[in-house]
Amino acid sequence: MPTLVGIFDQPGPVAETVRRLRGRGFRELQLYSPAPFPELDDALDERPSRVRWWTLIGGLTGVTAGYAMTIWMSYDWPLVVGGKPYASIPPYTIIAFELTILLGGLATLLGLLAVGKLPRVKADPAYSPRFSAEEFGLVVRCGERDVAEVDALLRAHAAKEVNLVEG
């Protein structure tokens, strides 16, 4: 299946092109950009990233673990210190808080890897170091007979060049 790569200089036109292509029913799109751009975020997929669920679950685990650990350990071998109750919630809240942050953060990292399909060993055939410079790459996989149309459409939207690469 042919794969066309349109090279752009600006994020704006890219977003526009993507909208057109999807309007024309092209679904197999991939978009490389040298930096994050809000205008591109929802171009391919409107749904918010699923990373947030990871954070939430991580955080909840942390807070529960924090309180559970501190309180259980206090009663596992109860000792009086400074005439305070065996389990003193105020200080334990600090531990719980820190664990919330810790597990929340680690879970978020895992979320990034899972959602971003990282780590990956092999690079896409369509990927080029240019995209880690300052150019945008819009990859369209289409049927042979659509090549010309896509090519034209890309050029029409300020793709400074269009390359046909190995699919």
Partner 1 sequence: MTPPPPPPASVAAMIRPMPAPADSRANRDILAVMGRPTIGYVALLALVVSTVGWALGTFVYQTYVGLGVAGYSHPIFWGVYIVTFVFWVGIAHAGTLISAILYLFRAKWRNAINRSAEAMTVFAVATAGLFPLIHLGRVFKFYWLLPYPNQRALWVNFKSPLLWDVFAISTYATISIVFFYVGLVPDLAIARDRATGWRKVLYSILALGWQGTTKQWKAHNRTVLHLSGLATPLVLSVHSVVSWDFASSIVPGWHATIFAPYFVAGAIFSGFAMVLTVMIPVRRIYGLERYITDYHFENMSRFILLTSLIVGYAYATEYFVAWYSGVEPERTAFWLRAFGSYWISTWIMISCNAFFPQVFWFKRARTHIPTVFVVSVLVNIGMWFERYVIIVGSLSREYNPAVWGQYTPSWVELSILAGSFAWFSMFFLIFLKLFPVIAINEVKELEIHERAHANGGAH
Partner 2 sequence: MPEIDRREFLKLVGASAGAAAAAGCSEPVEKLIPYVIQPEEITPGIPVYYASTCQECPAGCGLLVKTREGRPIKLEGNPSHPINRGSLCARGQAAIGRTYHPDRYPGPQRRNQAGQLEPVSWDEAIRLLARKVQEAGPGTWLLSGEPGPTAGRWIDRWLTAVGAGGRVVHEPFAPEAVREATSAVFGVASEPLFDLSDTDLVLDFASDFLEIGPSPVEHGRQLAAARDVAAARGRTARLVSVGPRLSMTASNADEWVSARPGSEGLLALAVARAALDAGAGSPEARQALAGLLEHFAPERVAGQTGVDAATIVRLGRAAARARHAVALPPGVSVTARRAKASAAAVLLLNHLLGAVGRSVRIPPAPAEGRRRPSYRETLALVDAMKSSKVKLLLVADANPLYSLPVASGFAAALEKVPFVVSFASAADETSARAHLILPDHTPLESWGDAAPRLGVRSLLQPTVRPLHDTRAFVDTLLDVGRAMGSEVAAKLPPGSFRNLLEEAWADTDWRTALAGGGVFEGASPAPSLPLTPGATRLEVAEPLLEGDGEWVLLPVTSGLLYDGRGANLPWLQEVPDPVTKVAWQSWAEISHATAGRLGVELGDVLAVETPAGRLEVPAFPRGGIRDDVIGVPIGQGHTVGRYASDAEHGRPDAPRGVNVIQVLPAATDEAGGRAWLAARARVQKTGRFQRVAVVQTSQNQRKRRLGEAVSLAALAAGDAHAPAANGHGEAAAETHGDGHEHELLKPYDAAKDSAPDSPYRWGMAIDLDRCTSCNACVVACYVENNVPVVGETRTLQARQMSWLRLERWVGDGDLEGGRKLPIGAKEAPGAVDVRHTPQLCQHCGAAPCEPVCPVLATYHTPEGLNGMIYNRCVGTRYCSNNCPYKVRRFSYFDYSRENWPGLLSLMLNPDVTVRGQGVMEKCTFCVQRIAAARHTATLEGRTIRDGEVTTACAQACPTQAITFGNLKDEKSRVVQASHDPVRSYHALHELNTRPAITYLAKVKRGVFEEEA
Interface residues for partner 1 in 27-66 (CB under 8 A)? 30-37, 40-41, 43-45, 48-49, 51-52, 55, 59
Cross-strand partners of 3: 141, 165
Give how far Cα 144 sits from Cα of 1, 22, 46, 64, 104, Å: 7, 17, 28, 56, 47
Q: Does residue 68 bind partner 1 (CB under 8 A)?
A: no
- As a whole number of angstroms, the longest Cα–Cα distance in the chain is 83
Residue 132 touches which of partner 1, partner 2, none (CB < 5 to 8 A by kind)?
Answer: partner 1
The 8-class DSSP code of residue 163 comes to E
Q: For the CB of residue 71, give the shortest distance to partner 2 in the complex, in Å.
A: 16
Tally the C-alpha atoms within 13 A of residue 7's C-alpha that lie toward its C-beta: 16
The contact pattern for partner 2, residues 43-82, with x = CB under 8 A and - = no contact, is ------------------------------------xxxx
C-alpha to C-alpha distance for 86 and 64, rounded to whole angstroms: 19
Q: Which of residues 84-103 bind partner 1 (CB under 8 A)?
A: 84, 88, 91-92, 94-95, 97-99, 101-102
C-alpha to C-alpha distance for 71 and 92, rounded to whole angstroms: 8
Task: Taking each helix axis as running N to C, give the angle between helix 51-76 and helix 89-115, from 0 to 180 degrees, rounded to the nearest 10.
Answer: 150
Q: Does residue 90 bind partner 2 (CB under 8 A)?
A: no
Q: For the CB of residue 76, give the shortest distance to partner 1 in the complex, in Å.
A: 6
Instruction: Take residue 65 and report the two structure tokens written for it.
Output: 């673990």
C-alpha to C-alpha distance for 38 and 59, rounded to whole angstroms: 27
The 8-class DSSP code of residue 50 comes to T
Residue 83 touches which of partner 2, partner 1, none (CB < 5 to 8 A by kind)?
Answer: partner 2
Q: Which of residues 95-154 bind partner 1 (CB under 8 A)?
A: 95, 97-99, 101-102, 104-106, 108-109, 111-113, 115-124, 127-134, 144, 147-148, 151-152
Q: Pick the closer one to partner 2 by CB: 91 or 125.
A: 91
Q: Which residues bind to partner 2, rule: CB under 8 A?
A: 79-84
